[in-house]
Amino acid sequence: MKRGILVISHGSREAEWVQLVDHAVSAAASSARLGGVPVVSSFLEIVDGRLIQDGIDELERLGVTDMLVLPLFVSSGSTHVDEIGQAFGLPWVSDLEGDLGTFRVNASVTYGLPIDDDPEIAELLALNVAELSQDASNEALLLVGHGSKEKVFHERWREGLERMGERLRRLGGYARAESAMLLPDEAAGKLRSMQAKRPEEAVIVVPLFLSKGYFTNQVIPSRLAGLDYRYNGRAMLPHPGVERWLERQMVEWINGSER
């Protein structure tokens, strides 16, 4: 048996986005706790030559027979997480069929879990938010995630956003935490509703995205144009908490497979 790990993230046309992900994966892979187990960073789309099948092929060329496939996605509500699972032959979460086909893989595959409301990721998000806070007891948080219109995935997004919001509220002592998705377009409506109910509270908008880029820099500000809120656009990367999350998933799988 030879173990190997395939980390899959979405991919982007922005070079910095890809570099931030690669740096986090590389840092996690360099941990002595992995004992030299090979780790490959791959992408769902856009990054030519480094797509999922490329990563599978690279690991199998190294002789890997047992593979952890780790989806580096924000939420289990992402349709991409299910789409990737389908392509590895796993049961479908809904009747929404992905377009990846079936991967060529000989190794035994263990499919990991995305971030969701991981407490360590909540701590790094709390640090991002703290620099915008002046009086937490009179401030509200609005978590904004990508979301989905598909019922099963929409509910998963909703549950994850609510759990993460509660973690952040408790960590920072904020008055309340609400959430909204970009798909469907909920952010502006939710912000207006929050301000109408409690106009005395300042609202801090928290983007739930893996890396800064198009959604954090352009989409969220454009959706909230003309409204009053605090925002710094900080994503989960770059922060070593993501590296630690990756390392923890990898080490737990390695230790479990040795039993």
User: Is 159 found in the same domain as 218?
Assistant: yes
pLDDT at 107: 97
Is pLDDT at 259 greater than 60 in this prediction?
no
Q: Do 168 and 245 share a domain, yes or no?
A: no
The average pLDDT across 30-54 equals: 94
Residues 248 and 193 in one domain: no
Q: Looking at the predicted structure, is the pLDDT value of residue 153 above 90?
A: yes
* Mean of per-residue pLDDT scores for the chain: 95
Print the domain residue range for 143.
119-223
Rounded Cα distance, 29 and 40, in Å = 9
Same domain membership, residue 152 and residue 101: no
Decide: helix, strand or coil at residue 231. coil
Domain count, the chain: 2
What percentage of residues in the chain have a pLDDT greater than 90?
91
pLDDT digits (tens, 9 = 90+) for 49-95: 999 999 999 999 999 999 999 999 999 999 999 999 999 999 888 87
- Rounded CA-CA distance 35/4 in Å is 11
Asked if the model's pLDDT at residue 227 lies above 60, the reply is yes
Q: Residue 22 contacts by C-beta under 8 Å, 6 or more apart in sequence?
A: 41
- pLDDT above 80 (res 165): yes
The token pair that represents 185 in the structure block: 């377009």
CATH of the domain at 110: 3.40.50.1400
- Residue 148's pLDDT is 94
Are residues 9 and 85 both part of a single domain? yes
Of 20-24, 91-95, 123-127, the one with minimum mean pLDDT is 91-95
User: According to the model, what pLDDT value does residue 93 have?
Assistant: 81
User: What pLDDT does 99 receive?
Assistant: 85
Please indicate, yes or no, whether residues 94 and 159 belong to a single structural domain of this protein. Answer: no
Backbone φ, ψ for residue 126 (5° rounding): -60, -35
Q: What is the pLDDT of residue 173?
A: 97
**Amino acid type, 57:** D
pLDDT of 256 reads 87
Q: 239 with 124: CB under 8 angstroms?
A: yes
pLDDT, tens digit, 9 for 90 and up, residues 182-194: 999 999 999 999 9
Rounded average pLDDT over 164-171: 98
pLDDT beyond 90 at 210: yes
Whole-number pLDDT of residue 95: 77
Q: Given a cut of 70, is residue 167 above it in pLDDT?
A: yes
- Indicate whether 177 belongs to any domain: yes
Residues pairing with 176 in the sheet = 140
In the structure, what pLDDT confidence band is assigned to residue 257 with cuts at 50, 70 and 90? low
Q: Are residues 49 and 80 in the same domain?
A: yes
Do 17 and 90 lie in one domain? The reply is yes
Give the full edge-to-edge strand order of the sheet including 139-145: 176-181, 139-145, 202-207
Query: What is the rounded distance in angstroms from the CA atom of residue 26 to the CA atom of residue 7?
Result: 10
Same domain, 210 and 124: yes
Q: Where residue 210 sits, what CATH number does that domain have?
A: 3.40.50
Statement to judge: residues 154 and 218 lie in one domain: yes
Q: Are residues 105 and 141 in the same domain?
A: no
pLDDT category at 258 given cuts 50, 70, 90 is low
pLDDT given at position 94:
80
Q: How far is CA 139 from CA 9, 149, 217, in A?
A: 33, 29, 23
